[in-house]
Chain A
């Protein structure tokens, strides 16, 4: 009788080990390193060579993606101000206040975005990206990731690497829709890459996964469109209405 219990214990232990042999992650905190190639993105612009030389080649910043099986949030992570000081000064930029929230059950996204020092809230469905799954495998942050190539807005190509072992279909900056979590992403047209630097599985603070809000402002589509139109009317933009409409058609993702 005693041995039987022992046997069951051993069997349980083995089955536990077996399950442990293939871990699937349903909740985690992932840190992304976002790198913008400054030299390349400023290449066509009217900036003196001297200024260009002052800039670092990459503008590096960090973001956190926190998710459970139901929802995820993506927002700025630890500071990297020392390294970014020259850029910050020159372009009077500060740490990003943008927040991306996704509810996987309802397939809804809520994005808080700062546009010209004003906060905007966009509520929408998950953006439509045409993905093609590739063969290449790359190890990112300890996970094997499979390459996929996506197309958004008909002409912007994305190169993504997603981990099969991370069950949530999320990714950085609201780019998602692949079978697993995106741990690497590149948008060649904008000279930007995001790569996960670490995946934390323990002590996830799930309470932060809530949709962002903005104080005192309504966030209906019409309201946002009017505010955007007003904002861009002040600039020398040729067609403020088109820009405002563009933002409402998922353009808030990458602009």
Chain B
């Protein structure tokens, strides 16, 4: 009935509901109430005369207010049913705010309210500006004005000042010891997965408050049943006047010759409508986070439905839109976003487009030694030069609808279009232990490809009157397509070790790859409360994927065209995959504790059709995904959780296909159709404790994993040092990872000065197995690294930080004694900024890496990268600044890397951005409309 009338006329329906609700309200008017007790966190003493103010949620006006009694108790009655906030305040204590949802009758007991002393929080801030920090339910809220930053500073500078927040060198944010997975602006996403755009380009001055909280999964928020999923989230709430105006910055920079870095951003906010655009044109390698880091900020993890085939059909899509540190990059990164809300925030749209263009030119030299099981040694070296170009268009958007107080809908789309071209020229040779040549090869590889993807999803969620009962339906579609052309010219010589006579082998071929995958999927999740604090969730997912993959390998014919198809290397396949995933989870969720156990079963039917020879192979398999989870929250900032998960993983098609891939004649991979799926176990234990009083944070993470039937490479190296790899199953070796981190403030805490010290320890122990010429080689690597960090800050005078770590690694391989050793290295990083009179700032940072000689490498290695800059601010409010920066003053950047493990050692050098200077001018503008 309800649904029908929604379709017919939602407004009428809402009106009818309101009428019913209001009549209910007047019948039971003013019968509801609340009661509770106010206590002090440090003394655990009940507080008298605390103010309990009841504010209307609708317009936040004061409804009524009382003081707590001598025993700390309070009770308020004669309240109308409805939504309220309770604001509890006490002199020198942080405010406490909680939501109240009062029913028609009865006194709601909000229990014990623990007030935290502001004196402990921030001694000086209280005096200066009062409510600098407050705890709002589970949200820690900082008022930006209370944390002074220099004029013209960006949001990142502001975040650095906030207790419990750390910012890594690359802009990655950690709060209370955990990685922040989402940065919101006014509660909305800002350029989806790139938080650095918000933190680096928004002005600290336009921020009203910063909220740090653990975002529960959409599902948990909606259903009210906690699934224990927590994503550390930062919300940057802008000032009202910044929401009605425009602001941004322009910052050109150049060294006058070859280096440039030009950035600009513009934001126009009109009430709830927000339009933003940015552009970065640079050849200094500084364009946001790497794609690995970005994937941490994915938009909608809830919407993914896997087909549970693991890597069975692969993706063929390589993303290379990011500069990884070697070669000389030049890039253009720009984008625009539109966001708006209307109808009392019941409609919310957010859409952005980004363009990312990257050109990289580089070279790389490598030398290596490899010990074979028969104790013979192979020595090799290679040089290559490469250039790569990539052009990527990305779209991302969502539309949220609150249909009524019980149901919501979200529609989201993501798309990408990428074109890539690349060329690599390489030379390699290898010798045996007596210095006799084994092979020599020159290669030219040219690739040219494009790929596209488009995903869309629709999620509908509905709650019911019974608390905890809810249903969620997700429908999604995804399409991935790509084409690539790869041309290989190779000339190789294989030598007889005795006579040194060469056999010549030449290759000139073209590989054409095409891939189209499209899938549709759906999932229904239903949760039913089956007892006190006990919930049962049943889910069922279905996914159908259809994929076509074609590969044509062509030899160069007499006419100079690539027209001779090589049948043994070419193939065209179609895959049809249908997966059904029923799952059941039982969850026990009293206050503070979450226990859940459950699992999913994946029934997959997999059909592979060889379109060349019209043979179809079918496989049916069942995957198992058990999961156990336990969370205990001592308090919102002190938590312990344990997790176990197991999963079956199917081998990839490249690992299964008995087909040769010969684009590098010196390294050939062949498939193994007898591979079994692997099953991996993973356990983790995390403990986090953040104490506001001392701003101390302690994080302990331990994890263990092991894979049964893991898929490993079996490599055969022949007398010409040609390598052939095939995949086989072996039980893997266990891996252990441990991390302990502690940090706290020292001395008196204030807004104007602070000292923080910290220490962290990483322990890593893992092993892997590989087969080399039929011999099983187990390699184990144990490492421990530890180091202190200290930072000091005094407003408008100095900021300084130093951290270092020493790491010891022991590797042990039963494949031979090279690369088997202890080695150690130490790294140091220091940076300082000094504020001089006349609005001048001097900044410098040094990164040092020391690798002493060891049994694998006879020389010690050190690299010191020193950058420095001088900045002069001018204009009103320091709106403009001019900066001269010099990077790598000592010109020690060599792009050198070395590695020793499991019977092999290798050293690599690549080209890198050398020493350069950059003169930049920045103008921050803003205007209220």
User: Is there contact, CB below 8 Å, between B62 and A178?
Assistant: yes
Which residues of the partner chain A approach B90 to less than 8 Å between Cβ atoms? Answer: 164
User: Is there contact, CB below 8 Å, between B67 and A167?
Assistant: yes
Measured CA separation A135–B129 after assembly (Å)? 9
Q: Does residue A156 face the partner (Cβ distance < 8 Å to B)?
A: no
When A132-B62, A146-B89 are in contact, do A167 and B130 touch as well, CB less than 8 Å? Answer: no
Chain B contact-residue range equals 20 to 34
Which residues of the partner chain B approach A165 to less than 8 Å between Cβ atoms? Answer: 91
- Give me 5 other A-B pairs in contact (C-beta within 8 A), A132-B62, A137-B129 excluded: A132-B61, A135-B143, A148-B62, A164-B90, A165-B91
When A164-B90, A178-B62, A179-B67 are in contact, do A137 and B49 touch as well, CB less than 8 Å? Answer: no
Measured CA separation A86–B61 after assembly (Å)? 42
Bitwise interface map of A from 111 to 131 toward B, beta carbon under 8 Å scored 1, else 0: 000000000000000000011
Bitwise interface map of A from 140 to 178 toward B, beta carbon under 8 Å scored 1, else 0: 000010101000000000000000110101000000011
Which residues of the partner chain A approach B49 to less than 8 Å between Cβ atoms? Answer: 24, 167
27 A-B pairs whose Cβ atoms sit less than 8 Å apart in the complex: A22-B91, A22-B92, A24-B48, A24-B49, A131-B62, A132-B55, A132-B60, A133-B53, A133-B55, A133-B87, A135-B143, A136-B130, A137-B130, A144-B130, A148-B62, A164-B51, A164-B89, A165-B91, A167-B49, A167-B67, A177-B62, A178-B62, A178-B65, A179-B51, A179-B65, A179-B67, A179-B89
Measured CA separation A169–B51 after assembly (Å)? 11
Which residues of the partner chain A approach B67 to less than 8 Å between Cβ atoms? Answer: 167, 179
A window 16-74: CB within 8 A of B: 22, 24
Measured CA separation A167–B61 after assembly (Å)? 20
Partner-A contacts on B (CB < 8 A): 48-49, 51, 53, 55, 59-62, 65, 67, 87, 89-92, 129-131, 143
User: Is there contact, CB below 8 Å, between A135 and B130?
Assistant: yes
Which residues of the partner chain A approach B143 to less than 8 Å between Cβ atoms? Answer: 135
Measured CA separation A1–B121 after assembly (Å)? 42
Measured CA separation A174–B49 after assembly (Å)? 23
Pick the contact of A133: B62, B91, B130 (CB < 8 A): B62
B209 closest partner in A (C-beta):
A135
A70 to chain B minimum Cβ distance, whole angstroms, is 14
User: Is there contact, CB below 8 Å, between B91 and A144?
Assistant: yes
A139 closest partner in B (C-beta):
B127
Pick the contact of A180: B51, B60, B61, B87 (CB < 8 A): B51
Which residues of the partner chain A approach B91 to less than 8 Å between Cβ atoms? Answer: 22, 144, 164-165
Measured CA separation A167–B90 after assembly (Å)? 11
User: Is there contact, CB below 8 Å, between A169 and B130?
Assistant: no
Bitwise interface map of A from 66 to 102 toward B, beta carbon under 8 Å scored 1, else 0: 0000000000000000000000000000000000000
Which residues of the partner chain A approach B130 to less than 8 Å between Cβ atoms? Answer: 135-137, 144, 146
Measured CA separation A171–B62 after assembly (Å)? 16
B40 closest partner in A (C-beta):
A22
Pick the contact of B61: A130, A144, A146 (CB < 8 A): A130
Which residues of the partner chain A approach B53 to less than 8 Å between Cβ atoms? Answer: 133, 179
B134 closest partner in A (C-beta):
A135
Which residues of the partner chain A approach B131 to less than 8 Å between Cβ atoms? Answer: 135, 137
A138 closest partner in B (C-beta):
B130
Measured CA separation A171–B130 after assembly (Å)? 22
B47 closest partner in A (C-beta):
A22
Measured CA separation A4–B67 after assembly (Å)? 36
Which residues of the partner chain B approach A22 to less than 8 Å between Cβ atoms? Answer: 91-92
- Closest CB pairs A-B (n = 5): A137-B130, A179-B51, A131-B62, A179-B65, A24-B49
A59 to chain B minimum Cβ distance, whole angstroms, is 31
B761 to chain A minimum Cβ distance, whole angstroms, is 41
Measured CA separation A131–B51 after assembly (Å)? 15
A180 closest partner in B (C-beta):
B51
Which residues of the partner chain A approach B65 to less than 8 Å between Cβ atoms? Answer: 169, 178-179
Which residues of the partner chain B approach A133 to less than 8 Å between Cβ atoms? Answer: 53, 55, 60, 62, 87
Which residues of the partner chain B approach A146 to less than 8 Å between Cβ atoms? Answer: 89, 130
Which residues of the partner chain B approach A131 to less than 8 Å between Cβ atoms? Answer: 61-62
Most buried by A among B62, B131, B143: B62
A148 closest partner in B (C-beta):
B62
B138 to chain A minimum Cβ distance, whole angstroms, is 19
Measured CA separation A177–B62 after assembly (Å)? 9
B129 closest partner in A (C-beta):
A137
B78 to chain A minimum Cβ distance, whole angstroms, is 13
Which residues of the partner chain B approach A180 to less than 8 Å between Cβ atoms? Answer: 51
B43 closest partner in A (C-beta):
A18
B61 closest partner in A (C-beta):
A130
Measured CA separation A144–B90 after assembly (Å)? 11
A212 to chain B minimum Cβ distance, whole angstroms, is 27
A159 to chain B minimum Cβ distance, whole angstroms, is 15
Which residues of the partner chain B approach A164 to less than 8 Å between Cβ atoms? Answer: 51, 89-91
B866 to chain A minimum Cβ distance, whole angstroms, is 44
Measured CA separation A130–B56 after assembly (Å)? 11
Measured CA separation A24–B91 after assembly (Å)? 10
A132 to chain B minimum Cβ distance, whole angstroms, is 6
Measured CA separation A131–B56 after assembly (Å)? 11
Which residues of the partner chain A approach B51 to less than 8 Å between Cβ atoms? Answer: 164, 179-180
B883 to chain A minimum Cβ distance, whole angstroms, is 35
Measured CA separation A24–B51 after assembly (Å)? 12
Which residues of the partner chain A approach B62 to less than 8 Å between Cβ atoms? Answer: 130-133, 148, 177-178
Measured CA separation A136–B89 after assembly (Å)? 13
B90 closest partner in A (C-beta):
A164
Which residues of the partner chain B approach A137 to less than 8 Å between Cβ atoms? Answer: 129-131
B66 closest partner in A (C-beta):
A179
Measured CA separation A135–B87 after assembly (Å)? 12
Measured CA separation A165–B59 after assembly (Å)? 26
Measured CA separation A22–B90 after assembly (Å)? 10
A64 to chain B minimum Cβ distance, whole angstroms, is 24
Which residues of the partner chain B approach A169 to less than 8 Å between Cβ atoms? Answer: 65
A window 198-224: CB within 8 A of B: none
B85 closest partner in A (C-beta):
A133
Measured CA separation A251–B53 after assembly (Å)? 27
Measured CA separation A167–B65 after assembly (Å)? 11
Which residues of the partner chain B approach A177 to less than 8 Å between Cβ atoms? Answer: 62
B90 to chain A minimum Cβ distance, whole angstroms, is 7
A21 to chain B minimum Cβ distance, whole angstroms, is 9
Measured CA separation A132–B89 after assembly (Å)? 15
Which residues of the partner chain A approach B59 to less than 8 Å between Cβ atoms? Answer: 132
Measured CA separation A169–B89 after assembly (Å)? 15
Measured CA separation A131–B53 after assembly (Å)? 11
Most buried by B among A148, A164, A167: A164
Which residues of the partner chain B approach A130 to less than 8 Å between Cβ atoms? Answer: 61-62
A183 to chain B minimum Cβ distance, whole angstroms, is 14
B141 closest partner in A (C-beta):
A135
Which residues of the partner chain A approach B87 to less than 8 Å between Cβ atoms? Answer: 133
A21 closest partner in B (C-beta):
B92
B60 closest partner in A (C-beta):
A132
Measured CA separation A146–B130 after assembly (Å)? 9
